[in-house]
Structure 1
Amino acid sequence: MSPYDASPVQAPAPLVDGFGRKVSYLRLSVTDRCDLRCVYCMAEHMVFLPKAELLTLEELDRVATAFVGLGTRKLRITGGEPLVRKGVMDLIRSLGRHLASGALEEITLTTNGTRLAEFAGQLAEAGVKRINVSLDSLKPDLFKRLTRGGDVAKVLAGIEAAQAAGLRVKVNAVALAHDNAAEIPELIGWAHRSGLDITLIETMPMGEIEADRTDQYLSLETVRRELESFWTLTDLPLSTGGPARYVRVEETGGRLGFITPMSHNFCEACNRVRLTCTGTLHTCLGQEDATDLRAVLRAGASDAELVEVVRNGVLAKPKGHDFRIARAEGPSVSRHMSTTGG
């Protein structure tokens, strides 16, 4: 019997925020740790959280189950790098019971790909159908510099292993003005030739790091205009539950997404909330709102009490974020993306 053998909490009404938006998508961070140190994401010498501050696997399962009972249909496992968390496959396999019951539509994963060769088969067996892999460059030297020591060959081998296991893979690439801007068409072409979707993301001002994101910010409106100078981009009426807007590149036949938190926010239809690995519920990526679910869990709350706290937290969800990238302003939010959950 599963150690997390609990049924979803049955809620009388769906989870809705104060603006009438139905929340049906939970991003669940299982760790703040990562085996890479991407320059736009975290400091080179990060101080990671002590184990006691992280939710246990049982606590993560309990909160996720509460959200499923409140109408969550999509669950994304994030980090840090989720596959470095000891026992994470036990958690994913256990959460798969909600797939089997039909209460949950899908469990997905965002990963840097370094451990996919080891875990791809297990993910597929656990019911995961698709994953996102972060990959900002195919050039070994540039990839090594951007990740502070990473090996792009390991990530590419992980992607191949995921495809061989039957997983659908989408590549996520952060657009960086002085690093990979010129490589973006090549990256898109490679992805489409490899049978992969790809999404471009604007860099976001989260957490104090050494790099100056002001200089690295690249508007995807500018990128799109450049791509349209030699490719035909056809808008697609497609949503995968996240914030990306999609086009088809007619010349390659592949799909390309744009996530534009800076140049065009995506708040009006936001259906997402995030739970950090420490049990903090954030209902907006770009605001400092927070509800401490760890304290509720460890105070011995009943399922009904947990649901009530979740409802109140989501009810206070802000209308939207106000990300800014400007010199001397510092980050829009102080927490790192690796702590928040990607």
Structure 2
Amino acid sequence: MTHKEPGLQDRFGRQFSYLRLSITDVCNFRCSYCLPDGYQKQSGPEPLQLDEIQRLLAVFAQLGTRKVRITGGEPSVRKDLTEIIQLAANTDGIDQVALTTNGYKLAENIAAWHAAGLQQLNVSIDSLDAERFQQITGYSHLARIIEGIDQALALGLKVKVNAVLLKGFDQTELALFENWLKQTPVSVRFIELMQTGDQPVFFSEHHVRGEAIRQQLLDNGWSLRPRQPHDGPALEFSHPDYQGRFGLIMPYSKDFCSSCNRLRISSLGKLHLCLFGDQGHDLRQLLDGSHTSDELAAELQHLLGIKSETHYLHAGETGAMRHFAMLGG
């Protein structure tokens, strides 16, 4: 296969240059909106191994993928995470390597991850109030996570912080984040809670619309920034008096899916055309070394042809998504 292969494009003209690669569905936190009872281990195959990941990334890169985000579950539970980062960074054609983590092992590992080629970091922090953080996640590690973020910034990494909007988020919470961004050059993205198969009642009781936060940011002098290549779905806001930025991810907003530029691979090698699609399409049998790169590329092109134009969250359809640890959001 040559680099003249057409890029990954669906029938609606959307180009897919961004791959989210889950390497485990295990998580060591108990977030109320995801795994309130903790991770429940199930019998089944092991997650993708290094040789499988290498074959997969090589073909995606040859088909135009330029950014890879390593996700979980919590990816740092894998002992070979540093090797996976290095493998992605050394894949010809991949320009950006990012990681999404809960930050539990960040302080002790960020130097090694950076040396392996990590450029961007997303850390989940749903509150800067230590008590509320513990209520949401089940753990009291906020200070330790902030320490890891400070180390990442000192190394020159681009850092984003993800905060799921939940009932109880108010002006006090927003002020805590604003105060932090005065001197901290990170992007805090508020994400609307999305309904999954495991938590329809929790969703109905805790969902908060992002539009109110958007108006508060505009009222406080924040300005909407133009989109950049490979950007995700977040609306980003900046302010001349702040080193950091805010973002809003609102999957229930009109035309949310029109800017979709990402595909997802589960830890077991299934291609998910949408976070809330009905099923994953198994690619693992094409990664065992007995199939050519052309075969995998042809299958990817075929599957893009059946991608839907939009999700159906508005209709309450969550597809096969039981909880976010399955695909890392």
Q: TM-score, normalised on structure 1? A: 0.88
Q: Structure 1 residues 198, 114: CA separation in 2 closer, same or farther (over 3 Å shift)?
A: same
**SS of alignment partner, residue 252 of structure 1:** coil
Structure 2 partner of 1:4: none
1:195 shift after superposition: 2.0
Alpha-carbon distance between aligned partners in 1 of 2:47 and 2:243, rounded to the nearest angstrom: 43
Matched, 1:189 2:182: no
Q: Is the 8 A contact 2:8 2:304 kept in 1?
A: yes
Q: Structure 1 residues 51, 157: CA separation in 2 closer, same or farther (over 3 Å shift)?
A: farther
Alignment gaps of 5+ in structure 2: none
Structure 2 partner of 1:288: 278
Alpha-carbon distance between aligned partners in 2 of 1:69 and 1:78, rounded to the nearest angstrom: 21
**SS of alignment partner, residue 176 of structure 2:** helix
1:56 shift after superposition: 1.4
Q: Is the 8 A contact 2:237 2:245 kept in 1?
A: yes
Alpha-carbon distance between aligned partners in 1 of 2:42 and 2:144, rounded to the nearest angstrom: 27
Q: Which moved more, 1:124-133 or 1:232-241?
A: 232-241
* Residue identity in the other structure for 2:322: R
Alpha-carbon distance between aligned partners in 1 of 2:184 and 2:41, rounded to the nearest angstrom: 35
- Aligned residue pairs: how many? 328
Regions of 4+ moved over 6 Å: none
Q: Which moved more, 1:231-240 or 1:296-305?
A: 296-305
1:50 shift after superposition: 4.1
Alpha-carbon distance between aligned partners in 2 of 1:281 and 1:152, rounded to the nearest angstrom: 33
Alignment of 1:137-216 (within 5 A): 137-179=127-169, 182-209=172-199, 212-216=202-206
Partner of residue 33 from structure 2, selected from 36, 40, 45: 40
Q: Deviations over 1:78-131 (max 9, x none)?
A: 111111112111121122212xx4x12111111111111122111211222221
Q: Quick one: percent identity of the two aligned structures?
A: 35
Q: Structure 1 residues 341, 9: CA separation in 2 closer, same or farther (over 3 Å shift)?
A: farther
Structure 2 partner of 1:337: 324
Q: TM-score, normalised on structure 2? A: 0.91
Structure 2 partner of 1:238: 227
1:227 shift after superposition: 3.2
Q: Deviations over 1:10-40 (max 9, x none)?
A: 4521111121211111000011111111111
**SS of alignment partner, residue 65 of structure 1:** helix
Q: Is the 8 A contact 2:102 2:123 kept in 1?
A: yes
Matched, 1:270 2:285: no
**SS of alignment partner, residue 169 of structure 1:** strand
Structure 2 partner of 1:24: 17
Give the CA RMSD over aligned residues: 2.3
Q: Structure 1 residues 12, 34: CA separation in 2 closer, same or farther (over 3 Å shift)?
A: same
Structure 2 partner of 1:65: 58
1:189 shift after superposition: 2.6
Q: Is the 8 A contact 2:99 2:122 kept in 1?
A: yes
Structure 2 partner of 1:79: 72
Q: Structure 1 residues 181, 41: CA separation in 2 closer, same or farther (over 3 Å shift)?
A: farther
**SS of alignment partner, residue 44 of structure 1:** coil
Q: Is the 8 A contact 2:266 2:326 kept in 1?
A: yes
Q: Is the 8 A contact 1:172 1:200 kept in 2?
A: yes
Alignment of 1:101-140 (within 5 A): 101=92, 103-140=93-130
1:250 shift after superposition: 4.0
Q: Is the 8 A contact 2:18 2:261 kept in 1?
A: yes
1:146 shift after superposition: 0.5
1:169 shift after superposition: 1.2
Q: Is the 8 A contact 1:38 1:147 kept in 2?
A: yes
Alpha-carbon distance between aligned partners in 2 of 1:212 and 1:92, rounded to the nearest angstrom: 35
Alpha-carbon distance between aligned partners in 2 of 1:298 and 1:181, rounded to the nearest angstrom: 52
Alpha-carbon distance between aligned partners in 2 of 1:58 and 1:194, rounded to the nearest angstrom: 38
Q: Structure 1 residues 159, 186: CA separation in 2 closer, same or farther (over 3 Å shift)?
A: same
Q: Deviations over 1:129-171 (max 9, x none)?
A: 2211110112222111101124111211111221222212111
Q: Structure 1 residues 106, 45: CA separation in 2 closer, same or farther (over 3 Å shift)?
A: closer
